[in-house]
Amino acid sequence: MRPDDATRLLPVTGPPVPPALAVLAGSTAPPDAGRTPPTAYAVPVRPRILALLVAIAAAVATIAVWRGFVGTHLGQVVEEITYDGALYGRTRLWTLAEPLLDVVSVSFVVLGTIVAMGVALVRRRWSLAAQVAVVMVGSNVSTQLLKNYVFDRADLGTESWWGNSLPSGHTTVAASVSVALVLAVPRVARPVVALLGAAYTAATGISTLVGQWHRPSDVVAAVCVVLFWGALACVLTTRSALDPARPGVTGGNRYAPRGSGTGWTLTVLGLVAVVCGVVAGWALYQTASVVESAAEVTSRVELVAYLGGACAVVAATAMAFALLLALRQAVARATAGVSV
């Protein structure tokens, strides 16, 4: 055996060869061998479970509102008193309410959908555009199906002179466009959009009361319908809808930039929901007591019922947008783990 043949049979020992030299020497080992692989980031699971629970609760609430205020004699009478209370001050209030309601139309739905999906597409969030479509189409189609084919208004001996009007189509349009924009805009803009969307939705809902187009339960049910579809869209969140990483930040927070003012917005919406909910509950109790005692329905009773109905609309809207803002911010915050 020649000396050079024996040398080939001996194992190579010594310090590891640098990656650059290994490549020059023709080694097949990849340059990154031995390094820690990059961490994969995924949509968090827990917020999606919470979103699913919110969607279920919204569906149950929609049925409960219909059953309580449309399917019972007491509920129908209470809302008829609320309906009569809308006559007071209607002349001046209608000058503000009518232009707001005139905005809501089929073209408005189309325009709102195009704008929200356009924002998502410009941000290169392809699945987010699909979520927007789910909210817009699902909310408005299901409202019409529920109102015209699923829910009915039985004749329970009240003075009601028209059939079922639950859920409100105008409120559904306003709420669905607002929620679609909350889903589509960047993280830092969501609190402002949620606050403005809640105000616009509540104003539209109250305007339908002012014009005696709808009863309070119609508006609250419409908000619940949109809450269902908005929460369902959060359940369907994919990696394409996650918030972008912040440069120069490491760890889990790198993919979770905090939205400016989210905490304050949630606090404001929560306080509004609680205060208006308490007023609505008090007004409902007062009105129901008058009905059950067969006492005379005075103008004061009608005004109290009307105030309670308007507060119920504001409370439901504030709570719905607070939940959807919190869910959207949570599901958009990526976590380390296996991608889904």
Residue 95 counted as domain residue: yes
Q: At 105, is the secondary structure helix, strand, or coil?
A: coil
> How many alpha carbons fall within 13 Å on the CB side of residue 95?
3
Task: Write down the pLDDT at residue 38.
Answer: 44
Residue 29 has pLDDT above 50, yes or no: no
Q: How far apart are CA 227 and CA 221, in angstroms?
A: 10
Residue 19 counted as domain residue: no
Residue 19 has pLDDT above 50, yes or no: no
Render pLDDT for 179-212 as a digit per residue (tens, 0 to 9).
Answer: 999 999 999 999 999 999 999 999 999 999 999 9
Residue 279 counted as domain residue: yes
In terms of DSSP H, where are the helices of the chain? 3-9, 19-24, 45-69, 73-85, 90-103, 106-122, 126-145, 169-184, 190-210, 216-235, 262-292, 299-331
- Those residues whose C-beta lies under 8 Å from the C-beta of residue 180, and which sit 6 or more positions away, are 112, 113, 116, 117, 132, 135, 136
Task: Write down the pLDDT at residue 253.
Answer: 52
Per-position b or e across 217-244, b if 16+ CB within 10 A of its CB: bbbbbbbbbbbbbbbbbbbebbebbbbe
The total number of structural domains in the chain stands at: 1
Long-range contacts of 184-188 (CB under 8 A, 24+ apart): 184/116, 184/117, 184/119, 184/120, 184/123, 184/125, 184/128, 184/129, 184/132, 185/119, 186/123, 186/243, 187/243, 187/257, 187/258, 187/259, 187/329, 187/332, 188/257, 188/259, 188/260
Q: How far apart are CA 65 and CA 69, in angstroms?
A: 6
Q: How far apart are CA 180 and CA 136, in angstroms?
A: 7
Residue 225 counted as domain residue: yes
Residue 214 counted as domain residue: yes
Residue 265 counted as domain residue: yes
Render pLDDT for 108-156 as a digit per residue (tens, 0 to 9).
Answer: 888 888 999 999 888 888 889 999 999 999 999 999 999 999 999 998 8
Task: Write down the pLDDT at residue 169.
Answer: 95
Q: At what angle do helices 73-85 and 216-235 cross, to 10 degrees?
A: 110
Residue 66 counted as domain residue: yes
Residue 229 has pLDDT above 50, yes or no: yes
Average pLDDT, rounded, for the chain: 85
- The residue segments making up the domain with residue 288 are 41-240+260-332
Render pLDDT for 87-96 as a digit per residue (tens, 0 to 9).
Answer: 887 778 888 8
Q: C-alpha angle with apex 180: 212 to 142, nearest 5 degrees?
A: 55
Residue 31 has pLDDT above 70, yes or no: no
